[in-house]
C-alpha cells in the first residue's frame, strides 16, 4: 500500500487533510503516525492502527497566538490509548521532528494542570527525556500544584 492508500483506509474521505509521517511497531501491532493539517500548521499528531478502530493515541498542538513572533506552539493535550506502552514517546518523537523539520516553530511549551498532580513525577520524567525544561508552582506546604514545560527547538 502506498501512503495515500493507507491514509484513505485510516481516514476515508478526510484523507487529504492528513499527512503520513511514518510507522512504528509496538507489541507486534503496526501503527501509522499521521499529522492533521489546520490552516498553516498541522495541529495534531495521531497514532492509528488499521485493525483496532477507536484505539487512537494523539498529541494536540495549538499555536500560541499571543507569541506569534516567537513562533511558539503549545502542547494542549496528549492522550494515549494504553499508558506506559511507549505511545506517548512515539507521538512526542514525531511531533518534535515534524516541528523541527517542517515548520518555523522555535519553541514548544505546555502546562501541567492540577488534575495531573497525582502523576507529576511521571510527567516530569517524560518531558525531561525529550529535553524539556520542567518547572512547578508549589503551595504553602511545598506541594506541587501545577507546572510548565518548555523546549527550544531552533
Instruction: Check residue 66 and give its pLDDT.
Output: 65
CA atoms of 145 and 114, how far apart (whole Å): 5
CATH number at residue 31: 3.40.630.30
Q: Is the pLDDT of residue 101 over 80?
A: yes
Q: What is the pLDDT of residue 39?
A: 65
What is the total count of domains within the chain? Answer: 1
Handedness of CA 39, 40, 41, 42 (dihedral sign): positive
pLDDT tens-digit profile of 115-141?
989 999 999 999 999 999 999 999 999
Highest mean pLDDT among 47-51, 65-69, 89-93, 104-108 belongs to 89-93
More confident residue, 51 or 147: 147
Going 128 to 59 to 93 to 122, the CA torsion angle's sign is positive
Confidence of residue 5 (pLDDT cuts 50, 70, 90): very high
Dihedral pair phi/psi, residue 47, rounded to 5°: -120, 110
Average pLDDT taken over every residue of the chain? 88
pLDDT at 79 over 80: yes
C-alpha–C-alpha distance, residues 22 and 110, integer Å: 25
Q: Domain limits at 35?
A: 3-152
Tens digit of each residue's pLDDT (9 = 90 or more) over 29-61: 889 999 887 666 668 899 988 887 777 889 888
Task: Look at residue 65 and tell me whether its pLDDT is greater than 80.
Answer: no
Which pLDDT belongs to residue 37? 75
- Closest to 120 in 3D by CA, of 96, 139, 146: 146
Tell the residue number behind the cell numbers 515548520, with chain if given: 103
Amino acid at each position: 500500500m502506498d501512503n495515500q492508500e493507507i491514509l484513505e483506509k485510516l481516514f476515508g474521505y478526510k484523507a487529504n487533510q492528513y499527512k503520513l509521517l511514518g510507522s512504528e511497531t509496538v507489541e507486534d501491532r503496526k501503527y501509522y503516525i499521521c499529522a492533521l493539517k489546520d490552516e498553516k500548521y498541522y495541529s495534531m499528531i495521531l497514532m492509528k492502527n488499521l485493525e483496532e478502530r477507536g484505539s487512537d493515541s494523539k498529541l494536540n498542538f495549538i499555536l500560541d497566538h499571543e507569541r506569534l513572533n516567537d513562533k511558539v506552539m503549545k502542547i494542549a493535550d496528549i492522550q494515549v490509548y494504553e499508558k506506559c506502552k511507549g505511545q506517548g514517546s512515539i507521538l512526542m518523537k514525531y511531533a518534535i521532528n515534524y516541528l523541527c523539520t517542517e515548520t518555523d516553530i522555535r519553541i514548544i511549551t505546555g502546562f501541567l494542570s492540577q488534575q495531573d498532580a497525582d502523576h507529576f513525577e511521571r510527567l516530569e520524567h517524560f518531558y525531561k527525556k525529550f529535553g524539556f525544561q520542567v518547572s512547578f508552582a508549589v503551595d504553602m506546604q511545598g506541594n506541587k500544584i501545577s507546572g510548565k514545560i518548555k523546549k527550544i527547538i531552533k
